[in-house]
Amino acid sequence: MSYQHDNYDNRNRRGGGGGGGHQSFASVAGGRQRYNNQGGGGGGNYDNNEGYGGGGGYQGGGGGQRRNQQRDNYQQQHWDREPLGANEDSEIPNEVRDFLTDLKNAIEDRDTAKLQVLYEAEFRGLSEIFYQTRAWPHPEVVEHIIGDLPEHIFTLLYKELYYRHIYESAREGLTIDQRFQSYGNYWSIFDTILNRDEPLDVGLPNEWVWDIIDEFMYQFTQFSTFRAKADKLQNFELNQLRAEGSHMVWNVNIVTNIWLKLVQKSEIQEQLAVYNAGGDPNARVKTGDFPDHPMYKMLGYYSLISLMRLHCLLGDYHSALKVLENVELGKKHLLQAAGLQACLVTTYYHVGVCYMMMRRYQDAIRIFCDLLLHQQRATTPTTNRGSSGVFAPSTGGRTYQVDALHKTIDKMYNCLAVCLILHPMHIDESISSSLRDKLGERVNKIQKTGDEEEFEKLLNQGLPKFVTPATNYDDIQPNSLKDFQNYQLGILKKEFAAQNMVFTIQSYLKLYTSMPIQKLARFLDMKDDVLLQHLYTYKHKMTNVVHTHGSPLNGVLQCKPELDFYIDKDMIYIADTKVAPRYGDFFVRNIQKFEELTETLKHIKVGGPAKE
């Protein structure tokens, strides 16, 4: 396998122990083949221990050596092109050395509080000081100086940070080797977590656990984009993508299986089901130590979220929501969720997108509004004194993540606008006014002129980047990714086109309580039966499945538009909805502001020159 080249890893493989990544690839590939041959058995089969530990294989072979040699030269050339520049400097500044030692000790001591500080603050801080334009010290160098823990756990986690930092800083300049190696490392981490009899206990803080799962998903989508850019790839990259076994790297089946295994291991679905039924998840009969372990619980939960995301990005909206069947989303969920903002925002955004794409606009609007309102409230100064907003307290200096969250929030506003165009209804006043500030002009233009292009732009800026599941490089059609994105976009564009005339019709209906069909047809300059067709379309399009309770998939068909009508013989009778002015929110906000003001005033010391 051509990507088994990293000398460091070769040297590290002291026979036995399911350590570093590359050998594990082989076992996945092997498992996969078995799977195909038998047409049965478990998916990626990576819980099968065959192929681990035996070592040998490619290591001793002369061919392997030669390949490594070539690879080294080739990597050398490669580094020159990297904007980030690989760090071959074995001189590690003292601060970094201290950090690494602390990190290793904290992992060994399972000191979650200490890990939190190291992970959230120090790693970022040191990255900014020393590693803005280059990578952190190579994991091999670090291992040489600092040492490692049993099962390579320190090196695995350090590598996670190392590659994440490269992804974050190098962006477009990532090399294909780095993509492969980072995958290998994630694979080893999950392998270490899953293939054991007792839970792995390292005391990782939830933030890090979420970031591992989230980053794994992110890098997977990145690879999908990378692979789809066939025309921009260099020859050596194409060769590597075509090489034997390469289709297993960032393979959608394996990625899915890893998450499914984590879900299974943690029994999170069962635990959530018991919790929703009002029971105590801790009191249920369990099949092992894993479901009780806090890290496995969180891994399971975050894997559910990622599975939902992946289904969504593949256009499988039904399965996406089904994954969350034991999670009841909404205001109550948000209030109770002590979870991370990043996780909540991601969850609500993707669930909302699923609803929107399934033409469940009311549910999409509800989900978006719940999250946006929650986020707005959390940003008010009274509840979060001294912080600059909802993301500040837990995310520390991780600016790129804060940026990503703000981007997602913006996308959410775009989707909300799209839903409200396709299904007009009243929403919370404060969300409505932020929406007007952000997108009011564009939305008005779309509603007034029926501008399809503008609608498409609005939608495109709201949708996530979809992925295509192709695993074999040569299966990938040129433009397939772009085509798939447009295909998904087209689904809602078609909805828009079908309803386009409705905006105009609505504006007339609003002015009357009853009017003859003929009269309206004359106003609109269309034939009676064409008008009828539009009226029926309106009724049909306003019919949505609306969530009732429980699983996000549950719901009943409902047609209760705010502007409603019926036809009796030749007459249209119209019923509009009036919204009484709302004062509550206004008062709540201003009371809060007032509180804040008096609080601030108290602390102001009116000085002036000191009295004599």
Partner 1 sequence: MSAREREEIASIFDSDIDRYNPGNMGILEQHVETQARENYYDLEANLLLLKLYQLNPGGSFTATRASSVTKILLKALMQLPKNDFQICKALTDPELGRVLRIQDVLRLETSLETCQFDFFWDDLENCRDSVSGVEGFDTAIRNYICSVIGMTNQTINERQLNSFLGKLPQEKLRRLVEEKGWKFLGNGIVYIKDQAASVKSRKITEAIEFADVATILTAVARR
> Judged by CB under 8 A, which stretch of 83-91, 242-250, 516-524, 541-549 contacts partner 1?
541-549
Token readout for 445 is 């233009």
> Judged by CB under 8 A, which stretch of 76-84, 122-130, 298-306, 584-592 contacts partner 1?
584-592
Report in angstroms how near the CB of residue 279 gets to partner 1 at its nearest.
23
- Of 18-57, binders to partner 1 (CB under 8 A) are 35-36, 39-43
Report in angstroms how near the CB of residue 324 gets to partner 1 at its nearest.
14
Label residue 51 left, alpha or beta by phi (over 0 means left) and psi (-120 to 50 means alpha). Answer: left
- Of 126-185, binders to partner 1 (CB under 8 A) are none
Report in angstroms how near the CB of residue 469 gets to partner 1 at its nearest.
5
Q: Which is nearer to partner 1, 41 or 60 (CB)?
A: 41
- Of 94-133, binders to partner 1 (CB under 8 A) are none
Phi/psi at 459 (5° precision):
-65, -45
Taking the C-alpha atoms of 595, 599, 601 and 606 in order, what is their torsion angle to the nearest 10 degrees? 160
- Of 263-292, binders to partner 1 (CB under 8 A) are 263-264
Other residues' Cβ atoms within 10 Å of the Cβ of residue 582: 12
> Judged by CB under 8 A, which stretch of 163-171, 185-193, 252-260, 405-413 contacts partner 1?
252-260
- Report d(CA 411, CA 421) in Å as an integer: 15
Phi/psi at 28 (5° precision):
-65, -45
- Report d(CA 339, CA 332) in Å as an integer: 13
**Which residues are registered as beta bridge partners of 203?**
none
Among 283, 285, 557, 604, binds partner 1 (CB under 8 A): 557
Place of tokens 């929703």: 276
Q: Which is nearer to partner 1, 264 or 551 (CB)?
A: 264
Q: Which is nearer to partner 1, 400 or 573 (CB)?
A: 573
Q: Which residues make Cβ contacts (< 8 Å) with residue 101, sequence separation at least 6?
A: 146
- HSE (side-chain half, CA atoms, 13 Å) at 472: 3
Other residues' Cβ atoms within 10 Å of the Cβ of residue 536: 11
Residue 544, SS3 per DSSP: strand
Q: Which is nearer to partner 1, 70 or 533 (CB)?
A: 533
Other residues' Cβ atoms within 10 Å of the Cβ of residue 134: 19
- Report d(CA 489, CA 517) in Å as an integer: 34
- Of 480-499, binders to partner 1 (CB under 8 A) are 483-484, 487-488, 491, 494, 498
Token readout for 259 is 């998450």
Q: Which is nearer to partner 1, 155 or 485 (CB)?
A: 485
- Of 201-220, binders to partner 1 (CB under 8 A) are none
DSSP string, 466-529: P-----SGGGPPTTHHHHHHHHHHHHHHHHHHHHHHHHHHHHHHTT-SEEEHHHHHHHHT--HH
Q: Which is nearer to partner 1, 376 or 434 (CB)?
A: 376
Residue 378-417 contact track with partner 1, rule CB under 8 A, x = bound: --x-xx----------------------------------
> Judged by CB under 8 A, which stretch of 170-178, 181-189, 340-348, 555-563 contacts partner 1?
555-563
- Of 422-441, binders to partner 1 (CB under 8 A) are 426
Report in angstroms how near the CB of residue 54 gets to partner 1 at its nearest.
25
Other residues' Cβ atoms within 10 Å of the Cβ of residue 204: 23
Report in angstroms how near the CB of residue 603 gets to partner 1 at its nearest.
14
Report in angstroms how near the CB of residue 162 gets to partner 1 at its nearest.
31
Asked if 583 interacts with partner 1 (CB under 8 A), we say yes
- Of 53-92, binders to partner 1 (CB under 8 A) are none
Among 113, 121, 145, 591, binds partner 1 (CB under 8 A): 591
Asked if 200 interacts with partner 1 (CB under 8 A), we say no
Counting residues that bind partner 1 (by CB under 8 A) gives: 78
Hey, what amino acid is at 314? L
Q: Which helix (H) or strand (E) holds 11?
A: helix 7-12
Phi/psi at 514 (5° precision):
-155, 150
Report in angstroms how near the CB of residue 588 gets to partner 1 at its nearest.
6
Token readout for 28 is 């996945």
- HSE (side-chain half, CA atoms, 13 Å) at 161: 25
- Report d(CA 127, CA 286) in Å as an integer: 42
Token readout for 424 is 């007009």
Report in angstroms how near the CB of residue 495 gets to partner 1 at its nearest.
8
- Of 521-540, binders to partner 1 (CB under 8 A) are 529, 533-537, 539-540
- Of 315-374, binders to partner 1 (CB under 8 A) are 315-319, 331, 335, 357-360
Report in angstroms how near the CB of residue 383 gets to partner 1 at its nearest.
6
Q: Which is nearer to partner 1, 213 or 535 (CB)?
A: 535
> Judged by CB under 8 A, which stretch of 21-29, 190-198, 292-300, 570-578 contacts partner 1?
570-578
Please name which of 219, 299, 218, 222 lies closest in space to residue 260, comparing C-alpha atoms. 299
Asked if 600 interacts with partner 1 (CB under 8 A), we say no
Report in angstroms how near the CB of residue 306 gets to partner 1 at its nearest.
14
Q: Which is nearer to partner 1, 93 or 550 (CB)?
A: 550
